Homo-oligomer: A and B are copies of this chain.
Amino acid sequence: MDLTEHPLHSEIMAAGDLLTVKRDLVSLPNGNTSYREYVAHPGAVVVVPMLSNGHVVLERQFRYPLRQVFVELPAGKIDPNEETLQTGKRELLEETGYTARQWVKLGRQHPCIGYSDEVIHIYLATDLQLGSHRRDEDESLEVFDVSFADCLSMIVQGEITDSKTITAIFLAEKYLQANGGN
């Protein structure tokens, strides 16, 4: 069965400082037409930073759309022409102050396939060294670390609900199981 929808026309529905929203007219597999509205996103990188004692570095950050503080992994948007590994290194340093000597690509995830074209690349960062963070003046967050087991427990208990974080921890757990870590 061919499930493909083909674009007929595309327009910018909204162009803000942060978000660009598109509205495309598409032809459906059954011959009908419909509109598709979605956020156009540059992509992002999420990092699982793991200390030598097996602890995971996490952040507490206020997320305005949901008006609450979330526990999440370091992450950020890809700058223009930036390699994803470089984004991971930059965001880890900026947000937490850590640099890492070992980087492993764990995969990628799509957070919001219904209405965003965002892709999030996932890295495991180990052999960490703490320097000083380079957060923007307007970026307020707290950095802390927990054991990997406690991190898994926080997900099961509903204390971590951020999908990018859960997905990255899932892949890190499988990677560590397959490679004899933790």
Of chain B, the residue at the smallest CB distance from A32 is B138
Q: CB within 8 A of A62: which of B3, B18, B32, B61?
A: B3
State whether B108 touches A112 (Cβ < 8 A): no
Q: Which residues of B contact A120 (CB under 8 A)?
A: 163
- Expressed in whole angstroms, the Cα–Cα distance for A180 and B33 within the complex equals 48
- Expressed in whole angstroms, the Cα–Cα distance for A156 and B177 within the complex equals 12
State whether A115 touches B65 (Cβ < 8 A): yes
Residue A80 is within 8 A (CB to CB) of chain B in the complex: no
Q: Which residues of B contact A141 (CB under 8 A)?
A: 3
Q: How far is the CB of A27 from chain B (nearest CB, A)?
A: 11
Within 124-180 of A, Cβ neighbours of B (below 8 Å) are at: 137-138, 140-142, 152, 155-156, 158, 161-164, 166-167, 169-171, 174
- Expressed in whole angstroms, the Cα–Cα distance for A4 and B66 within the complex equals 11
State whether B113 touches A65 (Cβ < 8 A): yes
Within 32-72 of A, Cβ neighbours of B (below 8 Å) are at: 32, 34-39, 60-66, 69-70, 72
State whether A17 touches B37 (Cβ < 8 A): yes
- Expressed in whole angstroms, the Cα–Cα distance for A18 and B34 within the complex equals 11
15 additional A-B residue pairs with CB within 8 Å, beyond A14-B14, A72-B113: A3-B61, A3-B141, A14-B21, A16-B21, A34-B138, A36-B65, A39-B39, A65-B115, A108-B161, A109-B162, A109-B163, A110-B162, A156-B174, A163-B167, A166-B166
